[in-house]
Structures are given as C-alpha cells and as structure tokens.
Amino acid sequence: MLSLLRRLLLPLLATVLLLTALLTTLLTTLATSPASAAIEDYASYQPQTRCSPAAKPGTVALGRWLVKKYGGSYGGVSRSCGSGTSEHAEGRAFDWTLDARRKADRRTARAFLRDVRATDGKGREDAKARRMGIMYLIWDDRMYAAWNGFEPEPYLSSSCRKRAKCSVTLRHRDHLHVSLTRKGGRGATSWYAGRLAG
C-alpha cells in the first residue's frame, strides 16, 4: 500500500514543486518590472548649467520612441551654447515636430499628453511622465511642468513681448518641446530599464 501511495503522490508532489517554482519566477518578474517598480518623484527644475550639447542616450531613446509610437518627426536635440539657458545645450531636450495648426497633429499631441499624464494601476498620477524623467513640456502656448503636477499653464517665450507678435516656433506651435531631468537625459529613470543597450 505504501509503495502505491508513493507512486501516486511523487508525480503529484513534483508537479506542485514545479508550479511553485514557476509562480515564484512570475511574481519576481512582475515585482521587478518597470511598471511596478518604485516611481520617481515629480521633478524640480534643473536648468542648464554647463555646455554639453551632445544628445544624451535617454533623450535620443525617448525622441525615437515618440516618433515611432505617435508619428511626427524628430526635430533634434543639440543647440549651441551661450544663447540663454536651454536644456538643448546639455543634450537633454528635444523638439518633436508637430504643427498645432493641423488637426491631426493636435490630436497626436493630445494622445501623447493623455498617455504620459495617465494614472497607473497603483493610483500614481502622471506615471509615465515621471518614469521618463520629463521635467517639462511646451506645446501650443502652454507649459506642462513637473513641479506643478504637469497642469497646463499659459506660456510666453522670454524672447516675445506679445503672443501675437511671437513666431510659431517661439510659441511652440510647430513643435512640442520636451525637457528631461539629468537622470532622464542619461536614461537612468525607471522607464528606460531594458530600453537602452548597456
């Protein structure tokens, strides 16, 4: 009788052990995935403090991802130093070419803003923007700053006295500007895990 029980129970025990190991692996993977990892705080303002205009890896990865996912064009990163403070001069800002005068591009920008400002499954607001290390966005006369919870605020370039006399570029109506934190620029925030080589 004992040998019969062993023959019946041993395969069952082996199956239970295998299922336990698989479940443990699955739970470990879920617990360490970027979507469930600790999330970054809202960024404070980190202005350009040095001249280092070469595009940083996180900046390039995010710009390429945006164009692939939503369309538009990658308008570039680097700007020359010395013409005022700009994260472009530290390689951690890029311009995503969209035209606010075109309905399709306005729809594209709205979809992106909804996506990065969405609340995640754990109730964390602006989850993707925080994970990407977005410091602020400027689009169509509005600024969305992390330190203000990405709430839209009227924007007027310091180079313009009045909006009506300001160029479409300075009004950010021909591109959506994305400025990243230093960690975001390096690709060192949680969204970049597994997206950057090395």
pLDDT in tens, 135-181: 999 999 999 999 999 999 999 998 898 888 899 999 999 999 999 99
Spell out, as residue ranges, where the chain has pLDDT lower than 70: 1-37, 198
pLDDT score for 97:
96
CB 65 within 8 A of CB 99: no
Cα–Cα nearest to 76, from 84, 68, 89, 150: 89
pLDDT score for 54:
93
Euclidean distance between CA atoms 58 and 84, whole angstroms: 23
Tokens of 166: 């300001």
pLDDT score for 80:
78
pLDDT score for 36:
56
Question: Which residue ranges make up each domain of the chain?
Answer: 57-192
pLDDT score for 198:
57
pLDDT score for 113:
98
Tokens of 191: 């969204």
CB 110 within 8 A of CB 104: no
- What residues have CB less than 8 Å from 115, skipping those under 6 apart? 128
Q: What is the CA radius of gyration of the chain?
A: 23
pLDDT score for 15:
53
Predicted TM-score (pTM) of the model is 0.79
SS (H, E, C) the chain: CHHHHHHHHHHHHHHHHHHHHHHHHHHHHHHHCCCCCCCCCCCCCCCCCCCCCCCCHHHHHHHHHHHHHHCCEECCCCCCCCCCCCHHHHCCEEEEECCCCCHHHHHHHHHHHHHHHCCCCCCCCCHHHHHHCEEEEEECCEEEEHHHCCCEEECCCCCCCCHHHCCCCCCCCCCEEEEECHHHHHCCCHHHCCCCCC
